[in-house]
Structure 1
Amino acid sequence: MRRVRHALPVLTLDLALVLAAWWIAFWLRFNLDIPDEYEDLAVKAMLWPLAGYAAGLVWAGIYRHVWSFIGLPEMRELTLGVAFGAVVTTAAVLMLRLPFFPRSVLVLHPLLVLVLLGAARAAWRTLAEHRRLSESGKAIVVVGSLQDASDALRALKGSRDWQAVGIVSPLAEEVGRSLQNVRVLGRVSALAEVCDRIGAEAALVASPAGSEERREALLLAADTGITLLTLPRADQWLKAESTGPRKIELEDLLGRAPVQLDVEGLADLFSGQTALVTGAGGSIGSELCRQIARLGVGRLVCIDVSEYAIYQLEQELRETHPQMQGVYYTANVREAERLRAIFARHQPAVVLHAAAYKHVPLMEQHNEIEAVRTNVIGTLNAARAAGECGAKRFVMISTDKAVNPTNVMGASKRLAELVVQAVAAEHLQTQYVSVRFGNVLGSSGSVVPLFTQQIARGGPVTVTHPEIVRYFMTIPEAAQLVLQAGLMGRSGQIFVLEMGEPVKIVELARMLIRLSGHTEQEIPITYSGLRPGEKLYEELLADDETTEPTPHPKLRISKASSPLPDIETIVKWVELAGAAPTGTFLREWLKAAVPEYMPRNEA
C-alpha cells in the first residue's frame, strides 16, 4: 500500500509529461501552428498514449526507482517502458482509423517522452547531489587512474562525510580530464601540492592493493600530514565492519589480487562433513576454521593446547556461525592417545594440521627438543590418527624455512614433511599433503605486531639487518590457498605458495611508521643484528628449477625429494634423548635426518 501511495504522484507527473510530449509532437509536426482539425484528432486520440505509457512504465518497474540515485540501469528500464508504451499507443491509434492522422507524431512522441521523463529524473538527482554536497563536510582527493577512480567516486556519492574534489592519477595523459564531474588535477607525485591547493584533508587511494601508487601516496602523505583512506575490502562489506572509507592498512600496501578458489569443489569437500583443525586457536588455524565454517561444514572439531585461544575461537564461531556444530578441545598433539580418542570419536573427513612451534630464535636456543617433539612427533601423531580413522585428506601447514633450513625450527618442519610422506605410504586411503608458505601479515609472533607495539611506545623500531628480506601474504590468502591445495593435492605432494616479491623488513618498518602518522625522525629505526638461526634471505619458493606448475596460478608443487625416514627410529631417538639433550647433540641428529639442514654458523 505504501508503494502505491508513493508511486501515484510520480505516475501522475509522468503522465502529465506524456501528455505534454503529445502536444509538443503535434506542434513540431505542423511547424509550431496546429490546424484546428488536427487539434480535434489530437484530443480524440489523447487517452490512448496516457493508457499505453502508463501500462508500459508500470510493466517496466519504473516506480521502484529512487530518483535520487538514478543511473544507467534505471534509464535502460525507462527506455524499455517508453518503447512498450509507444508500441501500445501506435497500435491503438492505428486501430481507431482516424482520417488523416499524422503518423510522424507517433515517431516523434516516444522520443519526446523519453527526453522529458529522463530530464525530470536527471534534474531530481542533480538537486539531490547538490543537497548532499552542501551537507558533506570534508574535501577528499582520489588517488588512482580514471578506471580505478570510477568505483571510488560512485561510493563517495553516497557519503555524507566526504566530498571528492579532485583526482591525482599515475598517468600523465589523464591530467586535465574529468570523471563524473571531478577533474584530474595532477600526477600522484603532486598529491601534497594538490591537497594543499584545494584544501583537502584526506586522500582516498583507489589503486589496487599492493600497487606502487599506494606506496607512493603513503610516502607523500606521511611527510605532509594527509590522512590516507581506502574503500573497505569485500570481506569487510560482508561483515558490515565498514560502510565507508577507512584508514589504509599495511595489508592494503602489500596485499595482492584476490585468490581464485574452486568454491564448488571446496563446498563438496566440506559441506555436511566433519573437519578437524589442530592448532585451531592460532593465527592460521583460526582463519582456517572461519573459512571452513563459511563452506558449510557439518561439524568442526577444533583442537588447541591453549585454553584461552580455544575459548576465544569458540566465542567467535558461536556468534558468527550459530548453525554450525562446533566441538572444542584443549589437547596437545604430542599426546598420541588423546588425539586417537578425539579422531576416533568424530571420524573427520578432512584434517588440517596447523599446530606447531614456529618462532625461530626461541626454538634455536634452550627449546630445540620442544620443536622436535611438537613439530615432528606431534605431526606424526596427527597424521597417523587421521589415517587410522579413515580421513579422506590430511593437510599439514609447513613453512618456507623448511627450504634448505639453517635453524632448528625449519629443520624440524622439513623432517615433519618427510614424516607425512612416510605415513602416506602406510595409509593409502588418505591423501596426505603439505603446504609451504612464508610470513603471514599480523600472525602471532610476526614482525608486524612487534613493530606496532614499538611504535606505540615511541620507538625505536628494531630491525635485525638492513638487507634482510621476507615474503609476505595476508592471513585470509594463506588460509584460502591451504584449502585449495588440500583439495587439489595427491598423496605425498608438497605444495609451495606463490608469495610474490620479497619485501625488505626495513621498508616494512618504514611503512608502519608512516601509517601511524609519524616520521623516521620521530620513530627511529635501529639494527640489532641477525638472531640465532636467522637467514638474511629466504630461499626462492616458487622458481621453475625447484617447483612444477599446477592449474592454480598461485600453487606449485615442490620437486625436492629425499629418502623417507624410518619413523620408529625417530620416535625411539626422541624418547631416548630425554628432557634436555644438548643443542649440539640434537643438531647433529637433525643433520643426519635432514641432509639439507646446515646450521647458520656452518653455512
Structure 2
Amino acid sequence: MFLISRIFEFSRFSKRLISLCIDSVFIFISFWGAFYFRLDNVDIFSESEYWYLFTTILIISALSFARLGLYRAVLRFINSQALWAVVAGVVISTFCLITLSFYFEITLPRSVPLIYFCFSILLVGGSRLTVRALVERGNNYNKEPILIYGAGSAGVQLATALTQGPEYHVVAFVDDERAKQGTVIKGIRVYSPAEIENIIKTKKVKKVSLALPSATRSRRKEILLSLESLPIGVFTIPGISELVDGSAKVSEFKEVGIEDLLGRDAVVPKQNLMTANITDKVVLVTGAGGSIGSELCRQIILQKPSKLVLFELSEFALYSIEKELNSINLDKHLEIEILPVMGSVQKENRLETVYQSFNVQTVYHAAAYKHVPLVELNVVEGVRNNIFGTLYAAKAAISAGVEKFVLISTDKAVRPTNIMGTTKRMAELVLQSLAKEQSKTNFTMVRFGNVLGSSGSVVPLFRKQIKEGGPVTLTHPDITRFFMTIPEAAQLVIQAGAMGKGGDVFVLDMGQSVKIKDLAEKMIKLSGFTLKSDTNPLGDIAIECTGLRPGEKLYEELLIGDDVIGTSHERIMTANEVMLDWKALEKILVKLDKACHEFNHEKIRELLLEAPTAFNPKDGICDLVWTANKQ
C-alpha cells in the first residue's frame, strides 16, 4: 500500500510509463502462458517465429491501449469506460494474434487465442480494479463512516460523490423498499430500517444522510422520529427542485430542516389566485428587504408583474433584494422592471408620490417592527411604524387610486399581551375602518404565526447555540408557537389577498402549535448530541430556561373569537372580528399621535387599553427612554 501511494506521487508521464511497462509484462505472461497452458511444454520458447509474433502483438496492444485512452484514465477513479478500453484493446490484440499467425503461417492451436484473451483481461483489467480497491480501502481508514438512508438514484449519486471525496466512507444503504434490501449497490449493501441501530454499533457510524429529495415532509418526519433516539447526527441532501434547477449538488449536506420535523406538506398554490393581483400589474412591496417582504418579492416576480417596486428603509436590505431579484430576472428571462425605492412608511407624502409616479395597482404592506421585546423597549417607534405607518400607507393608496392593499398581520394581534401585537391589531382596525368608509381601494388583512428562518425565529439561534456546544436557551419550558415556512406563508398571503372583497381578515391554517422545548430537544438529538439534564448529567448540551421576556405570551392564538368561516382554499379561513367606524377610530388615532409626539407613555398605554384590541399587558411600561427619565 505504501508503494502504491509513493507511485501516485510520481509525475503524470512517469505513471503512464510504469503502466505501460506493467501492461507489457501482463501481455508477455498472457501470450506465453496461453501457449504453455495449452501445449504443456517449453520447447516453443526457443522458436524465433513465436518471438517475432509476440513482439508484434506487444506493440499493437500497447498502441491500442494508448489510442483507446487507457493511459489517460486515473487509476484511483477508474470507471466502466476505462474497463471497456481494456476489453476493446484486448479484443484488437487477440484478433491480431489470429490474423498474424495465419499470415506468417505460424502454428496456432485454436484454444490459444481464447486463453490469451482471458489471461489479458484478467491481468490488465483486474490489476487496475485491484489497485483502485486497495487505494479506496486505504483511504477509507482516514474517512468518517456514514450511512445513507435511501438507495434510490439520489442515494447512489451521493455514495459515488462521497466515495471520491476525502471526508466520508459510505458503509451501508438503508431503504424502506423490500425489493432493495439485501442487494448490493456500488459495492455497498442495502439494509432494512430495522437494522440501523446494529449498523451504527458495528460500523461506528456517527452520521446519517437522508437521500430522499422527493419524499413528502410527513414521510421525512416519520423517518426523523425513528432516528431521534439514536446517537447520530442526521443530515439531508437538497430537495428535488434544487437538484433539477442546478442550484445545489447531491453531495451538499444540509442540516435537517425544521419543516421536516414539523411534517407539514405545503399545498400547491392555486395559480388563478397567485396571478389575480400581480400578472401585468404594477406591484409595490413595503418592507421589501425583510424576511416576509423579500419572499413576497421572490414569489411576485415569478407571476410576471409589469413592474415591481421595492419600498424599503434599510439601504443594505434594499440593495440585497434588488440584486437577488435582478439575478432571478436574468436567469429566468423575465424582463420585469425592478424599481428599488428608499423610503419610510411614516412619510405619507413620500408613499403617495411613489404610488402615483409608478401607477401602483397592488400593495403588499409588510413593513413593520415585529420583534416583541424590542418594540416593548421602544414603544413610540413601534406605534409610529406599525399603526401610523399602516395608516399613511393606506391613505396614500386611497389618494393614488391603488386597487388592492394587503396587510401582513400576525397571530400576536389576537388578545395581545405586548405592544407589538396591539399595534398590529390597531393596524387591522385602521384598514377595516377605511374599507367600511370607502370602496375605492380593496383592503385585506392576512394573519399568521411565526415563519421558519425569519430574522426573529428561534431556529437560527438554536442552531448557533448547538454549534457552540450549548446551552440552548428558551424563555419558558411550556411555551408554544405556530410555525410555517416563509415560501408557504408568502404564497398564502398572495392567494388570500386575491380572495378579499374589502375589509376581510384572513387567517392562515398554521397546523398544530409546537412546543419550543420539544423542538430544541429534537434539534440537539438530530445534530448528533445528547441532552444534558438532571437524569443525564453527562450529556452534551443542556437546555436552560431564562424566563419570559417583556410582552411575551406562553401561547399564541390566530382568532379572537370562534366565528371563523372556511374559504375555497383549504389553508385559508376568514374571521369576523370586532371593528370601529372611521370617526370613532380617528379620535383614538389623533390622541395617540399627540401622545407619541409628547413621548407620553402613560397616555399611549391608556389609549391602547381603551381601544377594542383586547390588550392585556403582563408587564409595566418597559420603554428604555421612559425608564431612563423615571430614574
Report the TM-score when normalising by structure 1. Answer: 0.69
Give the secondary structure class of the aligned counterpart of 1:203. strand
Most deviating of 383-392 and 303-312: 383-392
Aligned residue in 2 for 1:551:
568
Q: Which amino acid aligns with 1:330?
A: M
Give the secondary structure class of the aligned counterpart of 1:398. strand
Aligned residue in 1 for 2:275:
267
Q: CA RMSD in A?
A: 3.4
Instruction: Give the whole-Å Cα distance in 1 for the aligned partners of 2:323 and 2:391.
Output: 30
Aligned residue in 2 for 1:303:
311
Instruction: Give the whole-Å Cα distance in 1 for the aligned partners of 2:477 and 2:291.
Output: 27
C-alpha spacing 1:570/1:343, structure 2 compared with 1 (3 Å) = farther
Q: What are the within-5 Å matches in structure 2 for residues 130-209 of structure 1?
A: 141-143=147-149, 152-153=154-155, 161=163, 165-167=172-174, 169=176, 185-187=191-193, 190-197=195-202, 202-205=207-210, 206=212, 208-209=216-217
Alignment identity in percent?
39
Q: CA deviation at 1:571?
A: 3.5
Aligned residue in 2 for 1:591:
609
Aligned residue in 2 for 1:453:
464
Aligned residue in 1 for 2:302:
294
Q: CA deviation at 1:506?
A: 1.6
C-alpha spacing 1:348/1:549, structure 2 compared with 1 (3 Å) = same
Counterpart contact for 1:547–1:559, Cα < 8 Å? yes
Q: CA deviation at 1:163?
A: 6.2
Aligned residue in 2 for 1:328:
340
Aligned residue in 2 for 1:494:
505
Q: What are the within-5 Å matches in structure 2 for residues 455-474 of structure 1?
A: 455-474=466-485
Q: Which amino acid aligns with 2:439?
A: L
C-alpha spacing 1:227/1:261, structure 2 compared with 1 (3 Å) = closer
Instruction: Give the whole-Å Cα distance in 1 for the aligned partners of 2:462 and 2:173.
Output: 34
Instruction: Give the whole-Å Cα distance in 2 for the aligned partners of 1:272 and 1:243.
Output: 37
Give the secondary structure class of the aligned counterpart of 2:338. strand
Deviations 1:306-329 (A, max 9, x none): 111111112222222142211112
Aligned residue in 1 for 2:290:
282
Which consecutive unaligned segments of at least 5 residues does structure 1 have? Answer: 1-67, 69-129
Q: CA deviation at 1:429?
A: 3.1
Q: Does 1:428 align with 2:439?
A: yes
Deviations 1:287-343 (A, max 9, x none): 101111111122110111111111111222222214221111221101111111111
Q: CA deviation at 1:179?
A: 8.1
C-alpha spacing 1:432/1:197, structure 2 compared with 1 (3 Å) = same
Q: CA deviation at 1:538?
A: 1.1
Q: What are the within-5 Å matches in structure 2 for residues 510-589 of structure 1?
A: 510-520=521-531, 521-539=539-557, 541=558, 545-565=562-582, 566-579=584-597, 581-589=599-607
Counterpart contact for 1:290–1:317, Cα < 8 Å? yes
Deviations 1:127-146 (A, max 9, x none): xxx99x989989764547xx
Q: CA deviation at 1:590?
A: 0.6
Instruction: Give the whole-Å Cα distance in 2 for the aligned partners of 1:457 and 1:185.
Output: 34
Counterpart contact for 2:432–2:503, Cα < 8 Å? yes
Instruction: Give the whole-Å Cα distance in 1 for the aligned partners of 2:418 and 2:435.
Output: 26
Aligned residue in 1 for 2:371:
359
Counterpart contact for 1:232–1:246, Cα < 8 Å? no
Most deviating of 238-247 and 414-423: 238-247
Give the secondary structure class of the aligned counterpart of 1:228. strand
Give the secondary structure class of the aligned counterpart of 2:568. coil
Instruction: Give the whole-Å Cα distance in 2 for the aligned partners of 1:202 and 1:332.
Output: 48
Deviations 1:96-141 (A, max 9, x none): xxxxxxxxxxxxxxxxxxxxxxxxxxxxxxxxxx99x989989764
Q: Which amino acid aligns with 2:283?
A: A
Counterpart contact for 2:380–2:599, Cα < 8 Å? yes
Q: CA deviation at 1:517?
A: 4.2
Out of 248, 259, 280, the position equivalent to 2:255 is 248
C-alpha spacing 1:554/1:183, structure 2 compared with 1 (3 Å) = farther
C-alpha spacing 1:504/1:261, structure 2 compared with 1 (3 Å) = same
Instruction: Give the whole-Å Cα distance in 2 for the aligned partners of 1:236 and 1:278.
Output: 32
Counterpart contact for 1:278–1:355, Cα < 8 Å? yes
Counterpart contact for 1:431–1:491, Cα < 8 Å? yes
Q: What are the within-5 Å matches in structure 2 for residues 73-84 of structure 1?
A: none
Counterpart contact for 1:250–1:512, Cα < 8 Å? no
Instruction: Give the whole-Å Cα distance in 1 for the aligned partners of 2:154 and 2:204.
Output: 20
Instruction: Give the whole-Å Cα distance in 2 for the aligned partners of 1:228 and 1:426.
Output: 54
Which consecutive unaligned segments of at least 5 residues does structure 2 have? Answer: 1-79, 81-128, 164-168, 532-538, 621-631
C-alpha spacing 1:551/1:421, structure 2 compared with 1 (3 Å) = same
Q: Does 1:213 align with 2:222?
A: yes
Give the secondary structure class of the aligned counterpart of 1:584. helix
Instruction: Give the whole-Å Cα distance in 2 for the aligned partners of 1:347 and 1:218.
Output: 54
Counterpart contact for 1:191–1:217, Cα < 8 Å? no
Q: CA deviation at 1:160?
A: 6.4
Aligned residue in 1 for 2:355:
343
Instruction: Give the whole-Å Cα distance in 2 for the aligned partners of 1:203 and 1:434.
Output: 43
Q: What are the within-5 Å matches in structure 2 for residues 94-113 of structure 1?
A: none
Deviations 1:192-215 (A, max 9, x none): 323444676643433532544243
Counterpart contact for 1:214–1:253, Cα < 8 Å? no
Instruction: Give the whole-Å Cα distance in 1 for the aligned partners of 2:359 and 2:184.
Output: 58
Counterpart contact for 1:497–1:542, Cα < 8 Å? no
Instruction: Give the whole-Å Cα distance in 2 for the aligned partners of 1:544 and 1:592.
Output: 19
Q: Does 1:476 align with 2:487?
A: yes
Q: CA deviation at 1:544?
A: 9.7
Aligned positions, number: 463
Most deviating of 238-247 and 504-513: 238-247
Instruction: Give the whole-Å Cα distance in 1 for the aligned partners of 2:573 and 2:183.
Output: 42
Counterpart contact for 2:561–2:577, Cα < 8 Å? no
Instruction: Give the whole-Å Cα distance in 1 for the aligned partners of 2:506 and 2:184.
Output: 46
Instruction: Give the whole-Å Cα distance in 1 for the aligned partners of 2:560 and 2:619.
Output: 27
Most deviating of 390-399 and 249-258: 249-258
Give the secondary structure class of the aligned counterpart of 2:454. coil
Q: CA deviation at 1:553?
A: 1.1
Q: Which amino acid aligns with 2:572?
A: L
C-alpha spacing 1:524/1:583, structure 2 compared with 1 (3 Å) = farther
Instruction: Give the whole-Å Cα distance in 1 for the aligned partners of 2:359 and 2:317.
Output: 24
